Amino acid sequence: MSSKTILFIANWKMNGSPSNFVEVAKVADFLDKKLKEYKKYIVFCPPISLLGYFSKKNRSKKVAFGAQDISNTKIDFGAETGSLSASLVKLSGAQYLIVGHSERRVTGDNFLVIKEKLLSASKSKLKIIFCIGETLEEKKKNKSLTILKKQILNSLPKKINLNNVTFAYEPIWSIGTGLVPTNQYLEKIFSFLETLLKSQFKIKSPKIIYGGSVNSANIKNLRNIGACSGYLIGGASLKAKNFIEIIKNYYN
């Protein structure tokens, strides 16, 4: 396997309770005891209600935490009831932040809102997981590359620290459906994104990861995507047993 560090990011979405920290602890124990020889980094993104509790309970240096979203507020603290600034999630223990997830885009996160969130996250020195992806209809019309380019060029500010941005390609038609793109299709997508990010944003080594129905059965196939630096995992990351199987099958 490649010696590069592979990111495994767990997006718990709207799931979990304080008692579910045991799942995080089991994964951390596995990393500390069983995978010492590999470069690895696990990021858990639980609901914001659990973020502070989980980050304080954690004792493993191989586990980090992220937030699933922030508000597009331009202030760190103040009179904005219900808003969640980048500074607040960082104080809660987040090192990472998911921005641009398709489930947020459908509720109103347009290009401008996403750009504002990216700027706020960068200002607070959070590492960004920037989600992009096309619908099934867009794919069928052969518009995938056009859509991805549009999502990046219309939202990604060039003045932020681009070395702290990981690009998560998540085809919307693959999220939670069990459908996974072919390796040939993913190679085309990843090659396009790598070229675009190098030419338009001067990023020497873009970090691009894949998300969408990742599980322990398909990870061995997905690991063959040359430019892929990791995986954004949803439902399969909720239980330590399943998440550990994904990590084990990647390295074995």
170 is catalytic: yes
- Would you call 60 helix, strand, or coil by DSSP? coil
Round to whole Å and give the CA distance between 120 and 157.
11
Select from 156, 252, 167 the least CA-distant residue to 208: 167
Contact call for residues 107 and 147 (beta carbons, < 8 A): no
From residue 178, alpha-carbon distances to 43, 155, 242 in Å are 22, 29, 15
Cα gap 250→235, rounded to integer Å? 17
Show Cβ contacts of residue 119 under 8 Å, excluding neighbours closer than 6 positions.
157, 160
The answer to whether 6 touches 229, Cβ cutoff 8 Å, is: yes
The catalytic residue among 101, 103, 134, 138 is 101
The secondary structure element, H or E, covering residue 131 is: strand 127-132
Q: Are strands 63-67 and 40-45 parallel, antiparallel or unpaired?
A: parallel
- Enumerate the H helices of the chain as residue ranges: 21-34, 48-57, 86-91, 102-105, 111-123, 136-140, 144-155, 183-201, 219-222, 240-251
Catalytic residue (one of 23, 137, 170, 245): 170
Q: Which residues are catalytic?
A: 101, 170
